[in-house]
Chains A and B, each alone.
Chain A
């Protein structure tokens, strides 16, 4: 009885994994397909990847995505961390109000955010391009950074900061030697979250991108309009692989981080 139940449970787990990963597996598989037509397997090839790297438009879109991703996630992390540290000192009532306002963008439909940002940028006569994309990406990733860091700050409690002050650390020294090292895993996680969100974002970027600031998701969408080609599969595979690698690197970094603090 017990073993049978275990078999059913493990079978169910495998089924869930297949359900989750089958679409991705097919996409990855066909990126190595020699045939142009997605439905037919005609042999293994690297040629779609090679042609990607020869494609100047793809490389430009990649460069745009990386630039926007890095700059917007640095900004979102710095601003989000500072905001979380500030909010912690508010009274409970104000903290709840401000938190509510900050988390609201997370549940507002993305299409509304995109539209609102577009209206704003055109009202202030700002030319659509990398700058508007970066600002938009900071807007939607900062709440995520704050959720992560506020959680860590709450876990930390006030005892450790008080202990530091009690031992003669000024508020700045307390921040530097105690608070920041302890929330560092949250800061790293927030940065990588922002970067991933920025790299993946399509809807909001669609509204606020200019002609010279096409990001990878926007470029893929442009290609798909002309049919799903093996190049799209290859490009998507690369995006997936880099996202997975990012998460692994983040995890390794996070573990290393909490053990080796020097000052």
Chain B
């Protein structure tokens, strides 16, 4: 795999406040990389530095091994899909999509050809002479994508592009975006605070917290073997057991429940079920431990034949391979 973007110890300060402490990151050609983190974690600032809208306080950015620092955004061979789409309201769909090619003085024949291709690709052919105001949110989002990909950028930057859409539409567009990325082979750098979205689409996820990258790995690795306490708790649900100097994380679906006395695992903990939440395909059980002030979550999938009730006294355990030991 070839590195397409390399961030070399870049740092960003705003008025003396460190927003992104020195950070290095290599992004591979053709990959779908997601910057995931809570709001204010520096993910958007990082994206804006790559796009050229913010200048890093120190450090360098490379695109295809060429130094990118101090090159203005309009000369960087990448395009961005904005959170609120930023479509030009005084132009039609067609004029919006053609804007980039016009600025690059591409020949009219070539413009026409690429316009037709892209319009078909994003299924906007019939809406080409509408203005953005006459489109639904999902359609506006397609225009924003079309306007970016018509330029065949080396890298596509996406800043929470699905954030403004409702849940159902977001779900279906996640798949569409992932397929688009696979078919075009363009490198995607995707910013989101929605972990489900990150899981569903990414080749790699960089989990960010307070400007730092806590872990960068495939979705499965992030989920199964989190390297820090932040990643373990931010991604999905987790039970965190602190025993002396060690922190152990066990996913709720890995917790096994037993009748008292039946338990065979090495971890002997007992407790009382305080709540049972039915969610269709699974039930979430909350178990108050007897030995300490802690509530453990356990997921029980439908059809396992067990019918736990509130106030049942139970023992819990888990396989050693299902636990993750975290640094303090």
Contacts and interface: CB of A to CB of B under 8 A. Distances in A.
The answer to whether A and B belong to the same complex is yes
A166 B80 contact: yes
B70 interface: no
A258 B132 CA distance: 13
B24 interface: no
Given A166-B74, A166-B79, A167-B100, 7 more contacts: A160-B88, A163-B87, A166-B73, A167-B79, A167-B148, A168-B103, A168-B151
Contacts of A113: none
Contacts of A163: 80, 82, 86-88
Interface in B37-60: 51, 53
Given A159-B82, A173-B103, A166 B88 contact: no
A181 B90 contact: yes
Contact of B91 (A159, A166, A170, A261): A261
27 contacts: A159-B82, A160-B86, A160-B89, A163-B80, A163-B82, A163-B87, A163-B88, A164-B99, A165-B73, A165-B74, A166-B74, A166-B79, A167-B79, A167-B103, A167-B147, A167-B151, A168-B75, A168-B103, A169-B99, A169-B103, A170-B103, A173-B103, A178-B88, A182-B88, A182-B89, A182-B90, A261-B90
Contact of B53 (A162, A181, A258): A162
B90 A162 contact: no
Nearest to A159: B86
Contacts of B84: 159
Interface string B216-243: 0000000000000000000000000000
B90 A258 contact: yes
Contacts of B100: 167-168
A159 B72 CA distance: 16
Contact of B99 (A162, A167, A259): A167
Contacts of B131: 259
Nearest to B103: A168
Interface in B94-124: 99-100, 103-104
